[in-house]
């Protein structure tokens, strides 16, 4: 009876636009993670910016997760459908221009502008488009789910994000092997163009809540001052960014380590381990730590994620890399669902919505910091002492764990 009721909820608890939005999200994440999985290697080997490859790739990722704070104003002004169309149009152009830097007939343009300047411009353009996707899809999921199925709706959304994260790099591997790494970006461009058409034909604007005040840039900057002025909240976000600083090494450092040290050319297969384990274990691990305090679950998750890099540092093999990333994913699955719960409780009671809008800041801060660190570790230790890289990443994680413990002891509300 319980299963039958749940199936009926899935059949009747969502507006058809819910399924359209989640389908768009699945293929958008597929294109995003496919391109992100090869981006640092592409910049290093095809564009020729080896010394700054991870920094530039992380700059793109950081913008994608920081700009949604501002992009929400555009979504409120133009609605979900128009914003999605803008997103996929920019994505289609942006991915193509990134890939152009690796194509023979794009060399004249990149040399005329300058390789680094060209990449900064096209990466920024693409990130502006990418910043619109989160507010649109998350907002649509919320508006097209009934109150009784909203938690299930977000679970479906989160699962499809990770399914896209698992499939995208595999498709990227096939394209890179058969056609060349630059065509991974071209395929992401074509996918975005098809998503533009799909949005135009199938997506229906969800009903807007007339009681909700539209955001403005002035309101966003007022919110920023409010959030940044809350020492307890902003200190937590900054400390927690250490977790994401480690996470992004899967895409910034692992590919180079796989190719140069492990001599395993199919580095995309290592990148998908995290997403596969997350899809498989998030629900059971969430249940396991359900009765724990959110801060306890987060500290435990960060601790496990931190020591996972020791496996890569102590054992130089593909199997060790897979095992290490899988252990990382266990730590991630333990803490991720509790993070947003904790943020909601950390915010002042009458300002939860405002503060939750800044919950992605640690992801962005971690990305901006991860790139320069990855380049420094790669250029300093990859050839001479590659295991040192993973000990340094472990140290960052353990420092984050200690800071979280100190935060919980002296700063967090009781």
Percentage of the chain surpassing pLDDT 70?
Answer: 94
User: What's the average model confidence in pLDDT over 282-299?
Assistant: 84
Tokens describing residue 101: 């830097």
The dihedral of CA 334, 301, 65, 270: what is its sign? negative
Q: Does residue 180 surpass a pLDDT of 50?
A: yes
265 confidence band (pLDDT: 50, 70, 90): very high
Contact, 321 vs 270, CB < 8 A?
A: yes
CA 180/CA 46 separation, integer angstroms? 10
Distances (CA, A) of 378 to 353, 398, 406: 40, 21, 31
All CATH 1.20.1250.20 domain ranges of the chain, comma separated, are 1-203, 216-414
Q: What is 216-414's CATH number?
A: 1.20.1250.20
Q: Does residue 29 surpass a pLDDT of 90?
A: yes
385 confidence band (pLDDT: 50, 70, 90): very high
Percentage of the chain surpassing pLDDT 90?
Answer: 63
User: What's the average model confidence in pLDDT over 247-256?
Assistant: 97
Which of 37-41, 225-229, 274-278 has the highest average model confidence (pLDDT)? Answer: 37-41
- Return phi, psi of residue 203, to 5°: -75, 130
- Per the prediction, the chain carries an average pLDDT of 90
Tokens describing residue 171: 């498709």
CA 230/CA 252 separation, integer angstroms? 32
DSSP state of 263: -
Query: Mean pLDDT lowest for which of 122-126, 134-138, 176-180?
Result: 134-138
Distances (CA, A) of 332 to 247, 277, 304: 9, 10, 8
Contact, 91 vs 129, CB < 8 A?
A: yes
209 confidence band (pLDDT: 50, 70, 90): low
To which residue do tokens 């994620």 refer? 305
104 vs 6: which has the higher pLDDT:
104
- The reported pLDDT for the residue numbered 411 is 85
Strand partners, 203: none
Q: Does residue 109 surpass a pLDDT of 80?
A: yes
Tokens describing residue 78: 């133009």
Closest CA to 343 of 246, 237, 185, 260: 237
User: What's the average model confidence in pLDDT over 78-94?
Assistant: 94
CB-hemisphere CA count at 13 Å for 53? 25
- The reported pLDDT for the residue numbered 154 is 76
| Superfamily, domain 1-203 | MFS general substrate transporter like domains (1.20.1250.20)
- The reported pLDDT for the residue numbered 7 is 62
- The reported pLDDT for the residue numbered 413 is 65
User: What's the average model confidence in pLDDT over 216-221?
Assistant: 80
Q: Does residue 254 surpass a pLDDT of 80?
A: yes
Q: Does residue 402 surpass a pLDDT of 80?
A: yes
- The reported pLDDT for the residue numbered 345 is 80
- The reported pLDDT for the residue numbered 140 is 86
Query: Mean pLDDT lowest for which of 16-20, 254-258, 336-340?
Result: 336-340
Tokens describing residue 267: 């580095």
Q: Does residue 147 surpass a pLDDT of 80?
A: no
User: What's the average model confidence in pLDDT over 389-401?
Assistant: 97
Q: Does residue 120 surpass a pLDDT of 90?
A: yes
Q: Does residue 341 surpass a pLDDT of 90?
A: no
CA 134/CA 358 separation, integer angstroms? 13
State the chain's maximal CA–CA distance in angstroms. Answer: 67
183 vs 7: which has the higher pLDDT:
183
To which residue do tokens 């060349």 refer? 180
Q: Does residue 1 surpass a pLDDT of 60?
A: no
Q: Does residue 232 surpass a pLDDT of 80?
A: yes
Task: For 342-372, write each residue's pLDDT tens digit.
Answer: 887 887 777 776 777 788 899 999 999 999 9
User: What's the average model confidence in pLDDT over 312-320?
Assistant: 97
- The reported pLDDT for the residue numbered 45 is 96
CB-hemisphere CA count at 13 Å for 12? 7
CA 204/CA 153 separation, integer angstroms? 17
H-assigned helices in 206-317: 217-228, 231-247, 249-252, 254-260, 268-288, 294-314
Please tell me the pTM assigned to this model.
0.91
Q: Does residue 414 surpass a pLDDT of 70?
A: no
Q: Does residue 3 surpass a pLDDT of 80?
A: no
If you count them, how many residues does the chain have? 414
- The reported pLDDT for the residue numbered 392 is 98
Closest CA to 390 of 240, 251, 246: 246
Nearby residues of 216 by Cβ (< 8 Å), 6 or more positions away = 73
């Amino acid at each position: 009876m319980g299963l039958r009721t749940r199936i009926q909820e899935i059949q009747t608890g969502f507006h058809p636009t819910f399924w359209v939005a989640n389908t768009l999200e699945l293929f958008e994440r597929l294109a995003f993670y496919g391109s992100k999985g090869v981006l640092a290697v592409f910049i290093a080997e095809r564009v020729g910016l080896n010394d700054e490859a991870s920094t530039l790739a992380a700059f793109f990722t950081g913008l994608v997760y920081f700009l949604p704070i501002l992009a929400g104003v555009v979504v409120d002004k133009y609605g979900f459908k128009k914003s999605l169309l803008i997103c996929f149009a920019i994505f289609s152009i942006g991915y193509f221009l990134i890939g152009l830097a690796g194509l023979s007939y794009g060399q004249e343009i990149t040399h005329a502008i300058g390789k680094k300047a060209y990449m900064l411009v096209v990466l920024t353009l693409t990130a502006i488009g990418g910043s619109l996707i989160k507010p649109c899809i998350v907002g649509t999921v919320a508006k097209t789910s009934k109150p009784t199925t909203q938690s299930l709706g977000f679970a479906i959304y989160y699962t499809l994000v990770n399914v896209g994260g698992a499939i995208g790099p595999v498709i990227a591997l096939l394209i890179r092997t058969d056609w060349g790494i630059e065509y991974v970006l071209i395929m992401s461009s074509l996918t975005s163009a098809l998503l533009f058409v799909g949005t135009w034909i199938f997506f229906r604007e969800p009903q807007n809540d007339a009681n909700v005040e539209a955001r403005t840039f002035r309101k966003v900057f007022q919110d920023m001052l409010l959030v940044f002025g809350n020492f307890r909240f902003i200190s937590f976000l900054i400390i927690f960014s250490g977790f994401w600083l480690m996470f992004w090494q899967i895409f910034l450092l692992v590919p180079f380590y796989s190719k140069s040290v492990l001599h395993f050319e199919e580095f995309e297969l290592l990148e998908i381990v995290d997403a596969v384990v997350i899809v498989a274990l998030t629900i059971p691990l969430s249940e396991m730590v359900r009765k724990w305090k959110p801060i306890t679950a987060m500290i435990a998750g960060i601790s496990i994620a931190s020591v996972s890099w020791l496996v890569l540092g102590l054992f130089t093999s593909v199997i060790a890399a897979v095992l290490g990333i899988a252990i990382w994913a266990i730590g991630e699955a333990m803490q991720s669902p509790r993070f947003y719960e904790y943020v909601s409780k950390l915010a002042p009671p009458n300002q939860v919505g405002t503060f939750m809008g800044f919950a992605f800041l640690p992801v962005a801060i971690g990305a901006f910091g991860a790139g320069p660190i990855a380049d420094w570790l790669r250029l300093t230790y990859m050839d001479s002492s590659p295991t040192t890289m993973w000990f340094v990443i472990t140290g960052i994680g353990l420092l984050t764990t200690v800071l979280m413990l100190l935060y919980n002891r002296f700063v967090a509300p009781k």
